[in-house]
Amino acid sequence: MLARVLVINGPNLNMLGRREPDVYGRQSLAEIQQEIEEMSLPDDIEIEFFQSNHEGALIDKIQESCGLVDAIIINAGALSHYSIALHDALKAVKVPVIEVHLSNIYARESFRHQSLVSLAATGGIFGFGSLGYKMAVSAACELISRRRNVQEKNN
């Protein structure tokens, strides 16, 4: 059975590689996406990528994914810190959610220390640069596999 993972990127992440490379790294979002696509993944895992600078577009994508994806990986950028609407959308999907941030948000300005996305997430990966996305994909695959095993045992 095919499993789908949705990787969502929020505001300003389309500027990766150019925006504060000392904080966010020198790789573009397209390069990070290519690295993920080149990962050795189980044959039954399909990954979809989405990026928007608009909160409503992110919420629409999350809502549209309901029942169609098995996990969500999200780097909501600055929206992580104040978007109750994004938090609510993630809670409604009822699949594992893995929050990713390139930088360690807890080692930065105090306004970045709170993440409303974290309250809706299964777990988070912070401060590992683009490696965090690969770690999140591996975690998503493991969570999907465990969920399937539990479902098989219950049937």
Q: Which active-site residues does the annotation give?
A: 24, 101
Burial bucket for residue 51 (CB in 10 Å: 0-12, 13-18, 19+): buried
Q: What is the C-alpha separation between 117 and 136, in angstroms, rounded?
A: 15
Q: What is the C-alpha separation between 98 and 32, in angstroms, rounded?
A: 16
**DSSP letters for 97-143:** EEEEESS-GGGS-GGGS--HHHHH-SEEEESSTTHHHHHHHHHHHHH
Q: What is the C-alpha separation between 103 and 127, in angstroms, rounded?
A: 4
